[in-house]
Amino acid sequence: MANCSQCKSFFAIPEGADDFAPGKGDCVRQEQDAKGKWYESKPVMGDMTSDKCPKFAQKK
Ligand code: SF4
């Protein structure tokens, strides 16, 4: 079963950062529409299941 830590949008929070917690990361994705591009970011846990996430993309 895939989880967020296997997704290319998952970026682990480095130890020492204010919001560090074991296994925690940020989900950062680029979005685009007719007017331009922007980034969406939200905190996620690496062990969260990604089965129901339509944006999951396997990390290479
Ligand atoms: S929430 Fe979805 S897009 Fe974000 S890291 Fe998890 S599986 Fe990937």
Residue 6 clears pLDDT 90, i.e. is over it: yes
Secondary structure string (H, E, C) spanning 8-56? CCEEECCCCCCCCCCCEEEEEEEEEECCEEEEEEEEEECCCECCCCCCC
pLDDT surpassing 90 at residue 1: no
What is the spatial distance between Cα 15 and Cα 1, in angstroms, rounded to a whole number?
A: 26
pLDDT digits 0-9 by tens, 7-48 = 999 999 999 999 999 999 999 999 999 999 999 999 999 999
Ligand 1 touching residue 7 (CB < 6 A) = yes
* pLDDT value, residue 5: 97
Name the residue of 3, 8, 27 whose CB sits within 8 Å of the most ligand 1 atoms, as the mutation to test its pocket: 27
pLDDT band at 54, cuts 50/70/90?
very high
Question: Model-level pTM?
Answer: 0.91
Q: Which of 40, 50, 46 is nearest to 13 (CA)?
A: 46
Is the C-beta atom of 12 inside 6 A of ligand 1? no
SS3 5: helix
Residue keyed to tokens 């020492």: 16
